[in-house]
Amino acid sequence: MGLFDKLFGEFVDIIEWTDDSHDTLIYRFERYGNEIKYGAKLTVRESQVAVFVNEGEIADVIEPGMYELETKNLPILSTIQHWDHGLQSPFKAEVYFCNTTQFVDLKWGTKNPIMIRDEEFGGVRLRAFGTYAIRIKDPVTFIKEIAGTDGHFTIDEVSDQLRNLIISRFTNIAGSSKIPVLDLAANYDQLGTYLTETISPEFDDYGLELTKILIENISLPSSVEEALDKRTSMGMVGDLDQYIKFQSAESLGSGGSASGAMDMGMGFAMANKMADSLNTPSSSSMENNKTDEPSSAAPPPPLPSQTLWHVAIDDKATGPHDADTIRDLISKGTLTTESLVWTEGMKDWEPAKDVEDIKKLIPPSL
């Protein structure tokens, strides 16, 4: 720098710092040769502290307010070099402004799934993420341990270390908490509070205060989540047999078409044939039986399958019903001559009075 730069640096007598970057933790006030004029005005705003460093040593920490740099106002500064020469000439010192506001919405999250033991599911893998907030608590410790002589120290320069610290402690806490996986969502607040209290002493070593940790989500691998969804769906279905009957009735009642009824009838017919085939011995097995036991008689043929009927009750399809159920419906008056019925082989629903097998079961009085 030239002569005018030096003179300008000495005559500027206002030392202050305003910041709109929202990510600066420490800023060093730049002066020509670090010279500060005797009697200069120092302005330290709320949410700031100023740290004076002389020849590598911290000389003073100034709280918020406006100060005139004279020994009568700042006695500790009398130890700074060159103040013994009439206290009128400029003195050399570095001024670091420390931002003491909270830095919020800082992200943390597990890079890889962590393994924990769950009483219900055994070994499971978890992922977790959330946010945390910090502030400078002890400027001297922070400068000594973290910032050093960095003239513009931002939150990005320390966030990775803090995030790794949180993840490491979260892994230990999640593994030892013995909270069931399905109950973790109900304990986010308690886990966050406990995590904050547990890690805070380690942040103190950096001169920082960990004000809050929030857990936004703890998730399982997608394959495990799909399995849980299926398990939940089965629990909601309940009785599978009743559910299948309900679905069958809904498919019949929703369309009301002959084709839908025929499709359902064909389905029941196929089911009956499959059951018959499972109950009927195969020809090869019969041949083997003849070879092994020539004197044994052939098994009797299967009983003829019973006709099953569907009955429209209150505009909804019910069934299939066997003959005993049909008689019970007739005796209760639920099935009358005008009731619509259908069975396999019929093209469409017909009144009971037009179906001979049903009509003969209905007493003439009905």
Q: Indicate the DSSP class of residue 113.
A: -
Decide which of 99, 127, 158 is a domain's last residue.
Answer: 99
Residue 294 lies in a domain: no
Q: What CATH number is associated with residue 331?
A: 3.30.1490
Residue 249 and residue 320 share a domain: yes
Structure tokens given for 219: 């998730």
The overall average pLDDT reported for the chain is 78
Structure tokens given for 125: 């893998």
Residue 63 lies in a domain: yes
Residue 295 lies in a domain: no
Percentage of residues of the chain with pLDDT beyond 70: 70
Residue 321 lies in a domain: yes
Section 107-117 average pLDDT: 88
Residue 351 and residue 260 share a domain: yes
Section 82-88 average pLDDT: 46
Residue 126 lies in a domain: yes
Residue 111 and residue 94 share a domain: no
Residue 114 and residue 201 share a domain: yes
Peptide bond into 363 cis (omega under 30): no
222-271 confidence digits (pLDDT tens): 777 777 777 677 666 666 666 676 667 766 665 555 555 555 555 555 55
Q: What phi and psi values does residue 331 have, to the nearest 5 degrees?
A: -65, -30
Residue 95 and residue 109 share a domain: no
Residue 110 and residue 173 share a domain: yes
Residue ranges making up the domain that contains 28: 3-99
Section 79-100 average pLDDT: 66
Residue 142 and residue 205 share a domain: yes
> What pTM did the predictor assign?
0.57
Quote the strand ranges of the chain, DSSP E. 14-15, 24-29, 35-36, 41-44, 48-54, 57-62, 65-68, 91-92, 94-99, 103-109, 114-118, 122-136, 152-154, 208-219, 309-313, 316-321, 340-342, 350-351
Q: How many domains does the chain have?
A: 3
53-76 confidence digits (pLDDT tens): 887 888 889 999 998 877 555 555
Residue 113 and residue 155 share a domain: yes
Residue 274 lies in a domain: no
Residue 157 and residue 245 share a domain: no
52, β-bridge pairs: 60, 95
| pLDDT category of residue 10 using cuts at 50, 70 and 90 | very low
193-205 confidence digits (pLDDT tens): 999 999 999 999 9
Residue 233 lies in a domain: no
Q: Indicate the DSSP class of residue 51.
A: E
pLDDT the model gives residue 128:
92
Decide which of 43, 78, 99 is a domain's last residue.
Answer: 99
Section 271-285 average pLDDT: 55
Decide which of 99, 114, 132 is a domain's last residue.
Answer: 99
Label residue 321 left, alpha or beta by phi (over 0 means left) and psi (-120 to 50 means alpha). beta
Residue 358 and residue 260 share a domain: yes
pLDDT the model gives residue 299:
72
Residue 361 and residue 259 share a domain: yes
pLDDT the model gives residue 322:
85
237-251 confidence digits (pLDDT tens): 666 666 676 667 766
pLDDT the model gives residue 161:
93
Q: What CATH number is associated with residue 168?
A: 3.30.479.30
pLDDT the model gives residue 291:
47
CA distance 98 to 35: 20
pLDDT the model gives residue 8:
47
177-186 confidence digits (pLDDT tens): 788 887 888 8
Section 315-323 average pLDDT: 85
Residue 150 and residue 204 share a domain: yes
pLDDT the model gives residue 23:
93
